[in-house]
Structure 1
């Protein structure tokens, strides 16, 4: 759907300019028509500048998680489309206007600003990934819009001095629009994936293998590389994240890697790293990926980009000087002069803001933390050290979404205006976003996730090491792909079996015998019921930390199923959610006085009172209550304390989260980076770096002599170094 957005501004702009004259003649009086003719272009130019400021703000805000992320996404979409529409309408109006209709000579000076606005601010280059694939259409738009702007420039330009004042803005506008196309093309799937295969020198696979035969030293570790570079302590995490981002470009491009076994440690995080540092590195790495796909930040990483940015800024300052000199010699209306200075000031502000934002970005931190000379070293010990220290306070992902299905059903479905939402067909949208809450991702949850992933990898290593040598895959050496795949398919069955539960006979129907979305709904309902039932019976100190973690993960997985279904394996989860909501309304009627504790108590103790299900109903409410009762009875039978029960439930949810992360394609992860990113994305990348992935296979090196391959961290983007 979004791929047609590019044609919307052009088509609607020409349609608008065609009908507006006739419509205004019939609908409005002569006075209104005169006011519209006088202020039409002024209003559009000012509105175009205002939309640039909005894009500048939302482009910065939409990479952050939180309760406002959905509203930011809406503003981003609207402003992204409206910005192109307004500038195109203004250029179309100029194209069709007659010289005698325009009494304002400053129009010739405003025209190139419209072209400058089409280039957009640095904080947003694409609204969605599909924009990157449409870079060729944007290039065609550049040709057309530049042609229209030049035509209007020549058509209405009577003041030669004013013409010359506008030339620097024309130069900056063409550069800005060209920058946008350059970034879109560079972030397209073909170019992005190809960037990992580019060779920057003569180090081909043959020459590297030759050097490997004569080399007796082991590959340089990353810590040794940073020590040789004299990298500041606060900047090491930025460098680690940057190099991991560069090495994992093939995975971000939906490609699979086969890595030489002796280089494996260079691609993975140490298993001794803390949860805080691991999530911090993953956050920085995803920040690099977001900037690459959705912003212009990467343009300033090259010398060409810095030169073009400098030309734009200098051109704008030159236009300010020449316009100030020119305008003093002519008697232009003061309001038009104010608009002209507003456009000039806005252009300078956007460029300066872009420069400062880049100077404070993670990209710059990588450069500042390496003192390459005495001047740089002095700067690094003062200003750079302070900047890096401020950036180093990142703690990884900060918030996660929550959605309680039963809570939502009871609050919204029984309200008087739910029928209105249903008629307007926005009930699902309201439920997904307006009733989604956000909570902080606390250190305890990060530690729990990180510890679970490390334990899973250790279990994989132990099973593999204990296997008979003849069963180890000869093609992949010490890497057992089938074993790892089997472990990643676990959805809670391993946890239950580890507790000594007869899994096959009692609980298999709730995990392995149903599709994944069905299993999420069953365990979500059971977790809700047990959570509020235990809160009524015990104090929070008795329930322990695992109770809170279970509820957080349960509501997060429910949020993914409801609002981000493409990130989960395919199923009919939306149908089951709808039918479950309907059955709950039938069970409770329109009672409005019950709280969550009362709802949980009623569902647990009145299961036999469920009304007969409809023939084609896919509701899981009754089965979810059954699962909760079975878990409750099991605890009483095994004489567990509440904390042990919640530890088991938390680990079941964690296995479901790991399963979902391993099955989600990176295209869907990247899509939701523009909404602030998801916890699932952070977990998926953390799994990649800890070795829990089907996308990477560890292979033996090709050298028959067994000499280690030479590893050059400076040349690491070359696929020949690590792609077998």
Structure 2
């Protein structure tokens, strides 16, 4: 027997069985790994999930095709009975429905819901064809029909989840019926009839009563974890319109702004984290479908019951004619389907959605109270201690409780220029367009998002929100990219490096200036506040440059990068020495005067900025730099496309996205209407 014949025989014997089991294995992998997407930003997690997501559909479709072909040609291999093949086919429909934890890998997948709808029809036809071919001697026709119904429910759930998360449908679902207000024609007829009757008549505008805010002491007392989740869900229902680029009313702005101004930084960021978690789940999982009152939980109970009934019926059927291994495969598929349903149900029961639903009523009955106790809805939802540095069980448990990665990627331009790609293998990788991946491994580091940075960002945003009583001022602050804080602090001499250059150029100038100050303007006599501002400035500087270079969908492409590389590669070998040497260059004349417009280098512009900064006191230098970086980040967050923010929810999240949503809650956004539209006209007739 030749090698080809040997492999063909093995494939005919075991190929279909292996493919079916691989399909089940991919479902198990996805249900556990997919939730990590919102918590971990590393490629070591993203790539396996991406691979499993794509393979799960391909493998299931391939297996359905194999079964249909085997049934049509009466080929089932040495072991498998045609009846069992027909019984296995509906399980592949269940697998095509996918786990609850992932329906879309990216936002673009939601737009392909029509393709999945077509696939639903085609795959149901293929499974039905395999089922019909097994007649008239089909011992398992009842459990097969039950599994076919369960598979149809699962696949329909996924298709509907994709449809509801598609951009057009999502936007339509948020649009409320228009409020026409009073009947204008009838109102004016009545008004003129009174006037013609010589009655003293006037029209008075009655403003809509403002909603009272019952949150006076939250900032002093703090919020429990459950209260954070409840508040986040409340504002999620309002601010999910940000995803659809909707405009919000002044009343909504005032209510949200008043509430968040009274919160601590910890509570404010926790609320935003949970809110973004709700955004993630309606866009990338079956959460929207599962939360439906009439089609969510009832259909899940029905599909689970059908699978359990199929297991019982399969157990009762005479199986002497079936091969032992095929019986094991059948039981594995049945138990696997039931186990996946149970795991998905537990995830739903312990989710934030369920916690909100169980605590929505002010007067819960005894059954709701028992459920609250059983599900421990008041449990701690955030880890108390920082993440351990080393991989361990404790670190895994910490990661599971995170709402986003809580890490900031760091990319330093001068460090990159001093350590260029020189190896032949690095150049070879570049030929295949994989340079960005290589740079991510070689030049990108991560820093934890600590409480000092969180408190500092919130303090700055809160200060600006306090000053933004009216929408015109709010929009002025929202559109500032460093110039507002410089004017506020009286540093008018530094405005040239903000207002007279493009955003990406000013970001690079301030990044290089921050590095020059960080490594050359350092003293052991600095007080704690100065040291803290120094470190925070460095972290934000490297983070925003990472976004500019490595995450182009979020920020504009970098400019003038090549000339900076050449200059630094030629002259400097050690980072600190490089910074000190650059500062010795005389920069009295602006570089553009000498080099002209052709040069895109900003290196010596950064030197001139540093020398202006050095005219300030040491403490003031880092105070100004840190505040400028927060404003630059705020500008980037507000001007980043909404699609980019939501896309990165499935990649570990970004601090930039948290700042974007927090700014909207604090009223620092361009998504609020300026004119008040809630007043009502009332006809007043004097006696």
Q: TM-score surpassing 0.5?
A: yes
Partners in 2 of 1:71 and 1:438 — Cα distance? 15
TM-score by length of 2: 0.84
Normalized against structure 1, the TM-score is what? 0.80
Indicate if the aligned counterparts of 2:486 and 2:495 stay in contact, CA closer than 8 A: no
Aligned to 1:101: 75
Check conservation: 2:97, 2:154, Cα contact below 8 A.
yes
Structure 1 residues 456 and 216, CA gap change in structure 2 (3 angstroms): closer
Task: Give the conservation status (yes or no) of the 8 Å contact 1:282–1:396.
Answer: no
Q: Could you tell me how far apart the structure 2 residues matched to 1:330 and 1:280 are?
A: 59
Please give the alpha-carbon distance, in whole angstroms, between the structure 1 residues aligned to 2:598 and 2:374: 67
CA deviation after TM superposition for structure 1 residue 359, in Å:
1.1
Residue 700 of structure 1, aligned match among 673, 676, 686: 676
Distance 2:645 2:127 in 1: 39
Q: Distance in 2 between matches of 1:363 and 1:109?
A: 36
| Aligned-residue offset at 1:695 | 0.7
Q: 1:222 and 1:396 mapped to 2: Cα distance? A: 27
Corresponding residue for residue 49 of structure 1: 24
2:192 is matched with which residue? none
Residue aligning to 1:454: 462
Q: How far has the Cα of 1:668 moved from its partner?
A: 1.6
Q: Which residue of 2 aligns with 1:690?
A: 666
Give the aligned partner of residue 603 of structure 2: 621
In 2, the alpha carbon distance for the partners of 1:79 and 1:176 equals 18
Separation in 2 of the partners of 1:381 and 1:82?
39
Whether 1:361 aligns to 2:315 is: no
- Between stretches 524-533 and 137-146, larger displacement belongs to 524-533
1:511 aligned counterpart, secondary structure: helix
Contact 1:402 1:552 in 2 (8 A): yes
State yes or no: 1:62 paired with 2:70: no
DSSP-derived class of the 2:250 partner: strand
* TM superposition shift of 1:433: 5.3
Structure 2: distance between partners of 1:522 and 1:367: 50
> Which structure 1 segments of 5+ residues have no match?
1-24, 227-231, 462-478, 708-724
Q: What is aligned with 2:91?
A: 113
Structure 1 counterpart of 2:630, from 648, 651, 654: 654
The 2-side partners of 1:414 and 1:163 are apart by: 65
Looking at structure 2, the residues matched to 423 and 404 of structure 1 have their Cα atoms a distance apart, in angstroms, of 24
Asked whether the 8 Å contact 2:90–2:144 carries over to 1, the reply is: yes
- In 2, the alpha carbon distance for the partners of 1:620 and 1:390 equals 49
The more displaced of 240-249 and 508-517 is 508-517
Q: Tell me: CA distance 1:260–1:90, structure 2 relative to 1, closer, same or farther (3 Å).
A: same
Equivalent residues of 2:481, 2:635 under 8 A apart:
yes
2:200 alignment partner in structure 1: none
SS at the partner of 1:490? coil
Residue by residue over 1:603-653, the C-alpha shift from the partner in whole angstroms, topping out at 9 and shown as x without a partner, is 434689x9x98995533334334433x24xx43x34x13x32111100010
Deviations 1:423-449 (A, max 9, x none): 332112221355322222111111111
Q: Is the 8 A contact 1:99 1:156 kept in 2?
A: no
Q: Is 1:336 aligned to 2:308, yes or no? A: no
- Say if 2:650 is the partner of 1:674: yes
| Equivalent pair of 1:196/1:246 in contact (CA under 8 Å) | no
Per-residue CA deviation, residues 241-293 of structure 1 (Å, 9 max, x unaligned), is: 112111123222012223348x8315763312111111011111111111100
1:153 and 2:153 aligned: no
The answer to whether the 8 A contact 1:244-1:267 is kept is no
Matched with 1:533 is 520
- Secondary structure (helix, strand or coil) at the match of 2:447 reads strand
Q: Which residue does the alignment assign to 1:401?
A: 409
8 Å Cα contact 2:549/2:558 also seen in 1: yes
* SS across alignment from 2:99: coil
Q: Deviations over 1:474-508 (max 9, x none)?
A: xxxxx443x433322222223333444342xxx34
1:297: Cα distance to partner? 1.8
Do structure 1's residue 586 and structure 2's residue 570 form an aligned pair? yes
Q: Is the 8 A contact 1:99 1:155 kept in 2?
A: no
* Cα distance in 2 for residues equivalent to 1:63 and 1:521: 29
Alignment correspondent of 1:496: 486
Q: 1:216 to 1:494 in 2, by over 3 A?
A: closer
> Contact 1:268 / 1:691 at 8 angstroms: preserved in 2?
no
Return the offset for 1:513: 1.6
Question: Cα offset for 1:523?
Answer: 1.0
| Cα distance in 2, alignment partners of residues 266 and 480 from structure 1 | 14
Asked if 1:601 corresponds to 2:569, the answer is no
How far apart, in 2, do the equivalents of 1:329 and 1:79 lie? 34
In structure 2, the partner of 1:33 is 8
**How far apart, in 1, do the equivalents of 2:432 and 2:333 lie?**
41
Question: C-alpha displacement at 1:126, in angstroms?
Answer: 0.8
The answer to whether the 8 Å contact 1:125/1:183 transfers is: yes
Q: Secondary structure at the match of 2:101?
A: coil
Q: Secondary structure at the match of 1:400?
A: strand
Range 88-97 or range 174-183, more displaced: 88-97
Q: 1:54 to 1:616 in 2, by over 3 A?
A: farther
Q: Does 1:576 align with 2:549?
A: no
Residue 375 (1) aligns with residue 372 (2): no
CA contact (8 A) 2:520 2:580 kept: yes
Which residue number in structure 1 is paired with residue 263 of structure 2?
A: 273
Deviation at 1:389, TM superposition (A): 2.4
2:122 and 2:372 mapped to 1: Cα distance? 50
1:168 paired residue number: 146
- Does the aligned pair in 2 maintain the 1:58–1:76 contact within 8 Å? yes
Shift, 1:367, TM fit: 2.0
Change (3 A) 1:268 1:217: closer
SS at match of 1:544: helix
Cα distance in 1, alignment partners of residues 565 and 28 from structure 2: 42
Bigger mean CA offset, 448-457 vs 615-624: 615-624
Report the alpha carbon displacement of residue 216 of structure 1 after superposing the two structures with TM. 9.5
Contact 1:550/1:649, CA 8 A, preserved across alignment: yes
Contact 1:457–1:692 (Cα < 8 Å) also in 2 = yes
Native 8 Å contact 2:38 2:651 kept in 1: yes
Match of 1:584, SS state, is helix
Structure-to-structure mapping, 1:473-552, within 5 angstroms: 479-481=470-472, 483-503=473-493, 507-535=494-522, 541=528, 543-552=530-539
Q: Distance in 2 between matches of 1:62 and 1:646?
A: 35
The gaps in structure 2 that reach 5 residues or longer are: 188-203, 384-400
Q: Indicate the structure with greater helix content.
A: 1
Are 1:92 and 2:65 an aligned pair?
A: yes
Partner in structure 2 of residue 255 of structure 1: 246
Distance in 2 of aligned mates of 1:613 and 1:144: 65
> Within 1, Cα distance between the matches of 2:100 and 2:448?
29
Which of 419, 424, 433 matches 1:425? 433
